[in-house]
Amino acid sequence: MITLFTFGPAFGLPDMSPFVTKAHLLLKLAGLTYQANRKGFTRAPKGKLPYIEDGGEIVADSTFIRLHIERKYGIDFDRNLAPERGAAIWALEKMCENHLYWAAVRERWMRDENFEKIAALVFRRVPSLLRPVVKTLVRRKIRKDLHSQGVGRHSDQELAELVKRDVAASAALLGDAPWLGGDQPCGGDATLGAFVITGHAPEFRTEVGRLIGGHANLMAYKERMLAAYFADFVGT
Q: Where along the chain do its domains lie?
A: 2-229
Q: Are strands 51-54 and 57-60 parallel, antiparallel or unpaired?
A: antiparallel
Q: Tell me, what's the pLDDT at 233?
A: 74
Phi, psi dihedral angles at 140 (to 5 degrees) = -65, -40
Q: Report how far residue 229's alpha carbon sits from residue 236's, in angstroms, rounded to the nearest whole number.
A: 17
CATH of 2-229, one of 1.10.1200.10, 1.10.1060.10, 1.20.1050.130, 1.10.390.10: 1.20.1050.130
Q: In what order do the strands lie in the sheet with 51-54?
A: 34-37, 2-5, 51-54, 57-60
User: pTM score, two decimals?
Assistant: 0.95
- Tell me the backbone φ, ψ of residue 39, rounded to 5 degrees: -110, 25
Mean pLDDT by 10 residues, the chain (236 residues): 96 96 98 96 94 97 98 96 97 98 97 96 93 96 97 96 98 98 96 98 94 98 96 65
What per-residue confidence (pLDDT) applies to 236? Answer: 43
